[in-house]
Each structure stands twice: as C-alpha cells, then as structure tokens.
C-alpha cells in the first residue's frame, strides 16, 4: 500500500490502496496494520480541503489534525496519487 508519508500523522499512517485508484483522490488514516475496516477516509479537493467520508476510530482532535496535515501537504500527496490513478481531486 502506498503511504503518503513514512511518518505517522497524529498516530496514524496516511495511505491508499491499489483498489482505491478508481475513485477520486482520497486518504485513508489507519493503524499499524493499515486495515481499511478501522481506517478513516478523507476525499481531497483541489484546494487541499477534505471531506471525511468515514471517521474510523479517530478522535475529533485526530480528525482536525489530519485534515490540517492534508491541507498543508496535498500537492505532494497528489503527486504520489497521480502516479497510480488518472482520477483527480474530489468534486462532490
């Protein structure tokens, strides 16, 4: 699974899977095992804002922190995403 960062962000890895690339750009925030069942899911817009589609086991503080991280790093994250997917940013 490609990670957006090797470091944890608010205690979670930020990643996507090969199955994810059929959707618009998004970020899973998950635990050590990077299991999607417990992972949060954020769709990313072209201005760096994000829409949480699944909270997973994140606290409100973690959600806010991860969304701030996405906003700050979304262009670098998109560069990794676009190597695997032709689908762009979230427009919904």
10-35: pLDDT as tens digits: 999 999 987 787 899 999 998 766 66
Q: Give the range among 33-37, 72-76, 84-88 with minimum mean pLDDT.
A: 33-37
pTM: 0.90
Residue 7 has pLDDT above 70, yes or no: yes
Distance (Å, whole) CA 84 – CA 49: 21
Mean pLDDT, rounded, for 7-11? 92
Long-range pairs, 50-59, Cβ under 8 A, ≥24: 50/90, 51/90, 51/92, 53/26, 56/29, 56/30, 57/31, 58/10, 58/12, 58/29
Distance (Å, whole) CA 78 – CA 26: 9
């Amino acid at each position: 699974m490609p990670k957006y960062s090797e470091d944890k962000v608010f205690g979670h890895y930020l990643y996507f899977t090969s199955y994810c690339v059929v959707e618009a750009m998004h970020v899973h925030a998950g635990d050590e095992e990077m299991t999607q069942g417990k992972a949060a899911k954020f769709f990313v817009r072209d201005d760096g804002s994000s829409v949480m589609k699944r909270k997973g086991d994140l606290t409100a503080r973690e959600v806010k922190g991860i969304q701030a991280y996405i906003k700050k790093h979304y262009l670098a994250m998109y560069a990794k995403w676009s190597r695997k997917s032709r689908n762009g940013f979230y427009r919904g």
